Every structure is written in C-alpha cells, then in structure tokens.
Amino acid sequence: MKQNESTVTEFILVGFMDHPDLQIPLFLLFLIIYVATIIGNLGIIIVTSVDAQLHTPMYFFLRNLSIIDIGYSTAIAPKMLTTFLAEKTTISFKGCTVQFFFFAVFITTEGCLLAVMAYDRFTAICNPLLYFAIMSRKHCTILVVLAYACGLTSSILQTSFIFTLSFCSSNIINHFFCDVPPILKLSCSDTHVAHTVNFLLSTIIALTTFLIVLVSYIAILFAILRISSAQGRYKAFSTCASHLTTVIIFYGTIFFMYIRPGSTFSIDQDKIVSVFYSLMISFLNPLIYSLRNKEVKDAFIRIIEKATFFK
C-alpha cells in the first residue's frame, strides 16, 4: 500500500476487551500456554538434534514442525498478550503487515510439512525396504525446502493483495491479531480480488496437502490390514498416531476458518477458533509427539541420565 492513499497508519486491536472481567485470567492462561509452547517445542528440537537414535527422516520433519510452531505462535502471542494489559493496543500498519506475513508463512508451511510427514509415514509402512533410499537426507531436505517455499510464495501473494488496499475509515480490528477477515472488513477499496486470491490460495493449498495426507493414510490403512499379527498392526499404527492426531486438529480448524465464502464469517466466533489454531496447535504438538511416542520419551530419559552422570 502507498501511504498517501490512506489516512490509516496504525490499527487498534480489540482482542477480548468485550469480556473485561476475564482479561487477567485470560492473560495468565495464554501466557502459560505460550511459555509452555516455546519450552515444549525447544525440547523437541534439542532432543531430536542431540539423540543419535532420533536422526531419522521422521524426526527431521518433526524438528522442523517444532521450528514452525515456535515461529507462528511467536508471530501472534506477544502482541496478543498486550491486548489484555493495555486499555488500547495499537499496531502500526507495517507491524500489522509483518505480523500477517510471518503468520501466513508459518501456517501454510505447517500444512505442507504435515503432508510431507504423511508421505514419510506412507513410505515407511508401504515401502519399508526402500524407505532410507527414498527418504534420503537430500530428498528430505528438498521436501522441507519445498514446504517453506510454498509457505513463502503464498504469504507474499496474500500480503501483497491485502495490504495494497486502501484503509481510510475505521482502524479498529475486531480481533487479537492481523488476520484476513477483520483486515478486509476495514478496507474502503474493492476487496473482491483480495478475497478471491485468499480463498483460492487457501483452498488449493489446503485441499492439495489434505489429499496427499488422505491418500497416504488410505494406503497405510490397507497396508496395516495386510499385516497378520495384531502386535505388528499396533506397532505400524502407533508410528502414525501422533501425526494423525495433529492432522485432524490442524485441518479441522483451517477448513473451518478459511475454506468458506467471506460472507459466512462471524468475527466473534472466529476469535475462539483462531486461538485454537494460532496457539493451541503449537502447544499441543509437543505433548502429542512426546506423550504418545516411546522413542521421544526414551530419548528424554537418556539425555537426562547423561546430564546427571556428568554432574
């Protein structure tokens, strides 16, 4: 956006100010969630980096998932927390643009990476003898780079179309961060193209990655059913359980938020959903992958034992 086309130089984030009696409890709750998110994901990054037994493609992808979770929760949480403490929380036009840009990068990259992780599980279960040949370090790196490239491209396009609009009337964002629906509601330009670009990009990326996940898990299901022993079937399914849980939570909220016409948005209701996908998913992922994953739990124990031994 060219600055001389608009009188708006900053926005006011409403956050949850319509519930003043809940400001302090919500601040403490979301602060705990954010701190736990950072600690949990840093723990995953450290454990999968330090423990040699976790130097496999699956944990390489998990490490990148934790990096992404830290990225998009940090893009949202610090500014969100200030909305509970200040009477009026402002964010500059550039700050709003930067916040949305990084959030869009990380949230899109996460969707792409979850599809890559589904392909990884498909290869491990359906082609176990060729697994390490197919999922070589080079191929894994390329897949992760492509996921980030997809997120970056999508974010650049969405940010360009949204923040080149004119904002010349209200500057009050009825949300706790600079998300697409409340921002477009404030524009005094024709937002049809921006709405269309956002809807098409979100739909194409979400449906493409979801179809990769769906096809991978259909193939995995048939492969598991062909395993003769109950123990073998359980072991095969357990390697997918954490990822499948994350996929269900992530795509459920994303489809609800973005894969629908703009006229159906209810900002007040969407704030709750936004909290879930902007903070809760990145908070839950370390719990899902550590509590349900024996290898990660064993690695934590080994690291603690080594640290205790060298004291």
Q: What digits encode the pLDDT tens for the residues 11-62?
A: 988 877 766 777 888 889 999 999 999 999 999 999 889 888 888 999 999 9
Q: What digits encode the pLDDT tens for the residues 166-220?
A: 887 788 888 888 888 888 888 888 889 998 998 899 889 988 999 999 999 999 9
Rounded CA separation 100/161 (Å):
12
Helix (H, G, I), strand (E, B), or coil: what is residue 92? strand
Give 253-283 as a DSSP string: HHHHHHSS-GGG--HHHHHHHHHIIIIIHHH
Report whether pLDDT(280) > 90.
no
Helix (H, G, I), strand (E, B), or coil: what is residue 292? coil
Q: Which helix (H) or strand (E) holds 10?
A: strand 10-13
Q: What digits encode the pLDDT tens for the residues 91-149?
A: 999 999 999 999 999 999 999 999 999 999 999 999 989 999 999 999 999 999 999 99
- pLDDT band at residue 66, thresholds of 50, 70 and 90? very high
What is the pLDDT, as a whole number, of residue 292? 64
Rounded CA separation 93/80 (Å):
16
What is the pLDDT, as a whole number, of residue 3? 44
- pLDDT band at residue 267, thresholds of 50, 70 and 90? low
Q: What domains, with CATH codes, occur in the chain? A: 3-309 (1.20.1070.10)
Residues 6+ apart with CB under 8 A from 114: 65, 209, 213, 243, 246, 247, 250, 251
Segment 274-288 shows an average pLDDT of 83
- pLDDT band at residue 236, thresholds of 50, 70 and 90? confident
Nearest CA to 106 out of 151, 39, 58, 147 is that of 151
What is the pLDDT, as a whole number, of residue 138? 95
CA atoms within 13 A on the CB side of 199: 14
